[in-house]
Amino acid sequence: MKALVLENGELSLQTRPDPRAEAGEVVIAVAAAGVNAADLLQRQGVYPPPPGWPVDVPGLELAGVVEQIGEGVDASLLGRRVCAIVGGGAQATRCVVPAAHLIAVPDTVEWTEAGAMAEAVLTAHDALVGQAHLERAERVVISGAAGGVGVAAVQIAHSLGAHVIAVTRDVSHHEQLLALGADETVTVEDVARLAPIDAVLELVGAAHLERVLAVTAAHARVVVIGVGAGSKATIDLRLVMGRRLILTGSTLRARSHDEKARVVAAGTDWLAERWRRGEVTMPIAHRFDLADGPSAYAAFAQRGKFGKIVLTTDLA
């Protein structure tokens, strides 16, 4: 197989042995794989994969066709179109995936979108539903709303009947976010004028967190899942105590097999029919061939994109 290999901070396309599925696993012939912030961090040497996953082939999500199954896996999965989250190794022409972590891809969905869906939707759904317990009519702020997880979160929160406030650096993508279900769109500078907020999905980090904590309502839930704008914040604990806030955080990559299976099951329950009916989408900012991985990473690092960066193989 071909794989995008990371060596000393540099990416190159190399030939690797084809993987084999063990018990409970499948091998997917990869058509598309999303690029995420974690991949850039791994390239910088600060976010290694969990034990058991490839240490030098990045990639946390993929889509493709099941071409091999391991012992105990339902044979009907062979030949199915699927997407999945993985601990690493997605940016290759083949990847081993636990069968419990697969999501079916509708026939109407193009591979490029499918390869960018799993990580964003599962991360956002787990944060908003599993941790923030977002409810109908609550006011939720989603920072960094123009990115993949932010775009997914806007659609999920809208489907739950929440009042969705999408926060971005500038107004470039506000119309697109409104079309996806945001009720309000504001820039970071305008956060201070927001009415009391019941829930926050913090995708930016310290710089935005300090602003949004000031406008939280009593009993608000704040879930931090991104720190691109800094990981160290100054928090007034009197505010946390006085408003009885819940401040928590999450990553998905390092969770156990069973934890991920539960996240996949919950996210799939929300996604499956909506995706099939075309009610959920993942905008694609740029698409690159797998061999052009360095350009994809460079594009991800640039500001101003809307949606995801995706790598594709000949299968797409």
| Residue 266 token pair | 């919950």
Q: In the chain, which residues fall in CATH 3.90.180.10? A: 2-117+253-312, 120-249
| φ, ψ at 26 (rounded to 5°) | -130, 160
Q: How far is CA 139 from CA 215, 220, 241, in A?
A: 11, 10, 20
Half-sphere exposure of 154 (CA within 13 A, CB side): 32
Q: Give the pLDDT score at 227.
A: 83
User: In 10 A of CB 113, how many CB atoms?
Assistant: 22
Task: State the pairing for strand pair 216-224/197-202.
Answer: parallel
Q: Give the pLDDT score at 231.
A: 84
Residue 26 in contact with residue 70, Cβ under 8 Å? yes
Q: Give the pLDDT score at 205.
A: 85
Q: How far is CA 85 from CA 88, 103, 198, 219, 247, in A?
A: 9, 9, 29, 32, 26
Q: Which residues pair with 163 in a beta bridge?
A: 139
Which amino acid is present at 227? V
Q: Which residues pair with 84 in a beta bridge?
A: 62, 102
Residue 40 in contact with residue 300, Cβ under 8 Å? yes
The CATH code of domain 2-117+253-312 reads: 3.90.180.10
Residue 184 in contact with residue 160, Cβ under 8 Å? no
Outline where DSSP puts E strands in 70-157. 81-85, 94-98, 102-104, 139-142
Q: Give the pLDDT score at 250.
A: 87
What is the length of the chain? 316
The CATH code of domain 120-249 reads: 3.90.180.10
What span, in angstroms and rounded, lies between the C-alpha atoms of 106 and 104?
A: 6
**Which residues of the chain fall below pLDDT 50?**
none
